[in-house]
C-alpha cells in the first residue's frame, strides 16, 4: 500500500484552494530611515507561493493572510470586497493577559531597532513569554472556550469547526460552507457573535474580528509565532493542554479534508441576514420619524449646553458619562450607518468619531452647516 505524503503545500492546497488571490502580510515592527516599516505584503496566488513566504518569514515576523479569496487581481489591488468568495467563517479566541502584553510591548520596542538589537534581552523576553504559555497555561481559558464553542457549533450546524492553537495566548476556529451570495458577511457574523456572547458569556471571543470580517487576516497554519517560536497547529476537543503544546513544539502536518468541516452555517447566515437588514432599515425609518426639527434661535450664543439641545433633537442618549460630562448617540448624519454609538456631545460642542463631523452651534458657520446636514434627512 502506498501512502500519500502530507506536506504543508498539500495542506494549504486543501485549506485555501489550488488557486486563489489573497494578500500575505508579515509586519516587522522595524524602523527604516526613521519611518516605521509596515511590513512585507505580497499577492499570493497558489499554495506554493504561500509556502515560500511562510518559509521565509516564519519565526521572524507574524505570517498573516486574508481570510477570504478576493476572486480578481483588480479587487485585491484596490481592496475591493465586491468579488470576495465567502466560503468560511473565522472565530478568534484570545485571552487578555497584562504581563504577556507588557513583555510584547518591550519586545516590539527593541525590534524596531533590528531583530539583532540587544539580542540577549530580546531572547530573555521571548523565553518569559514561552514560559507563560507552556508552564503557566495562560492560553488555557481561550482553548477551553474554543472547545466549548466547537461542541455547541456541531450541535447546531452539523460539524465541528477546525481548531488551531495560535502559537501565543489564543486559538482560532474555522468552519466552511458553500460560497454565499447576497449576504453582508460583516453584518451577519457580527450579529451571530453578539448573540453568542449573550448566550454563553465567552470571555475570550474577539467580536472585532467578526464585525470586520471582510478585511481581516489570520495567522497561517504551521507558521511560527514570532515571539514564542511555537507553531500554529490544529487540535481537537479531546486534546489536553499539554498535548496541544507538544504538537506546537514538534509540529507534524496533519491530513486536512475540507468536506469534514463543511457545515450548515452558511445557510444560517443567508437566513438571518435579510432579517438583520430589515431591522436596520426600520431603525433608520424610526430615526428619521423621531428626528425633531432643529431648534431655532436668533442669537448664535443661544446653545448654552449642547447636551440639552441634542436631547430635544434626538431623544435620550445611548449612554451617559456624567463624570466626564458628555453623552453618546448613534450618529444622526446622513451617509453614516452608525450602529455603535460614536457621536459624542459635550457642553460646548459635538464630534462624531466615525464620520468626523464636529462643531459648536454657538458659532454661526457651524450652525448653518449643521442645519444643511439636518435638511438632508428630511
pTM above 0.85, yes or no: no
pLDDT at residue 289, as a whole number:
61
Q: Which of 84-93, 271-280, 329-338 has the lowest mean pLDDT?
A: 329-338
Q: Which of 6-15, 195-204, 312-321, 331-340 has the lowest mean pLDDT?
A: 331-340
pLDDT at residue 302, as a whole number:
59
Which set of grid coordinates corresponds to residue 217? 487576516
Specify burial of residue 92 (Cβ count, 10 A radius: 0-12, 13-18, 19+).
Answer: buried
Binning pLDDT at 50, 70 and 90, where does residue 360 land? confident
Strand partners for 128? none
Give one DSSP letter per residue of 161-192, joined into a string: PEEEE-SSSEEEEEEE-SPP-S--HHHHHHHH
Whether residue 314 has pLDDT greater than 50: yes
Whether residue 2 has pLDDT greater than 50: no
pLDDT at residue 6, as a whole number:
83
pLDDT tens digits, one per residue of 94-140: 999 999 999 999 998 998 888 888 999 999 999 999 999 999 999 99
Percent of the chain scored above 90 by pLDDT? 60
Strand partners for 217? 66
pLDDT at residue 321, as a whole number:
85
Cα gap 176→269, rounded to integer Å = 12
| Mean pLDDT, rounded, for 73-79 | 83
Contacts of 340 by beta carbon, 8 Å cutoff, 6+ apart: 330
Contacts of 307 by beta carbon, 8 Å cutoff, 6+ apart: 317, 326, 327, 345, 346, 347
| Mean pLDDT, rounded, for 84-99 | 95
Binning pLDDT at 50, 70 and 90, where does residue 291 land? low
Structural domains of the chain ordered from first start: 8-273 (3.90.920), 291-377 (3.90.580.10)
pLDDT at residue 33, as a whole number:
40
pLDDT at residue 301, as a whole number:
53
pLDDT at residue 337, as a whole number:
73
pLDDT at residue 363, as a whole number:
82
pLDDT tens digits, one per residue of 48-73: 999 999 999 999 999 999 999 998 88
Amino acid at each position: 500500500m502506498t501512502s500519500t505524503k502530507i506536506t504543508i503545500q498539500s495542506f494549504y492546497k486543501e485549506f485555501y484552494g489550488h488557486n486563489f488571490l489573497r494578500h500575505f502580510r508579515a509586519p516587522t515592527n522595524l524602523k527604516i530611515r526613521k519611518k516605521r516599516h509596515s511590513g512585507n505584503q505580497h499577492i499570493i496566488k497558489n499554495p506554493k507561493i504561500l509556502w515560500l513566504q511562510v518559509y521565509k518569514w516564519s519565526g521572524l515576523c507574524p505570517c498573516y493572510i486574508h481570510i477570504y479569496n478576493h476572486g480578481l487581481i483588480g479587487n485585491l489591488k484596490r481592496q475591493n470586497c465586491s468579488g470576495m468568495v465567502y466560503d468560511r467563517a473565522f472565530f478568534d479566541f484570545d485571552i487578555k493577559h497584562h504581563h504577556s502584553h507588557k513583555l510584547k510591548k518591550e519586545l516590539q520596542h527593541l525590534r524596531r531597532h533590528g531583530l539583532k538589537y540587544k539580542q540577549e534581552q530580546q531572547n530573555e523576553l521571548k523565553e518569559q513569554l514561552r514560559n507563560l504559555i507552556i508552564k503557566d497555561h495562560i492560553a488555557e481559558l481561550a482553548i477551553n472556550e474554543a472547545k466549548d464553542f466547537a461542541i455547541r457549533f456541531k450541535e447546531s450546524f452539523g460539524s465541528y469547526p477546525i481548531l488551531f492553537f495560535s502559537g501565543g495566548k489564543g486559538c482560532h476556529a474555522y468552519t466552511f460552507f458553500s460560497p454565499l451570495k447576497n449576504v453582508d458577511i460583516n453584518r451577519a457574523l457580527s450579529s451571530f457573535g453578539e448573540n453568542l456572547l449573550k448566550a454563553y458569556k465567552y470571555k475570550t471571543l474577539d467580536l472585532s474580528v467578526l464585525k470586520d470580517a471582510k478585511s481581516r487576516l489570520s495567522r497561517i497554519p504551521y507558521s511560527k509565532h514570532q515571539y514564542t517560536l511555537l507553531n500554529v497547529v490544529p487540535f481537537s476537543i479531546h486534546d489536553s493542554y499539554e498535548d496541544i503544546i507538544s504538537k506546537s513544539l514538534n509540529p507534524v502536518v496533519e491530513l486536512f479534508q475540507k468536506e469534514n468541516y463543511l457545515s450548515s452555517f452558511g445557510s444560517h447566515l443567508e437566513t438571518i441576514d435579510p432579517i438583520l437588514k430589515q431591522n436596520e432599515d426600520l431603525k433608520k425609518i424610526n430615526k428619521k420619524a423621531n428626528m425633531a426639527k432643529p431648534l431655532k434661535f436668533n442669537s448664535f450664543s443661544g446653545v448654552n449646553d449642547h447636551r440639552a439641545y441634542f436631547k430635544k433633537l434626538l431623544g435620550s442618549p445611548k449612554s451617559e458619562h456624567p463624570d466626564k460630562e458628555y453623552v453618546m448617540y448613534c450618529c444622526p448624519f446622513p451617509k453614516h450607518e452608525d450602529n455603535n454609538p460614536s457621536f459624542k456631545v459635550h457642553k460646548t460642542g459635538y464630534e462624531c468619531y466615525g464620520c468626523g463631523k464636529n462643531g459648536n452651534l454657538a458659532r454661526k458657520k457651524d450652525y448653518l452647516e449643521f442645519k444643511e446636514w439636518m435638511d438632508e434627512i428630511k
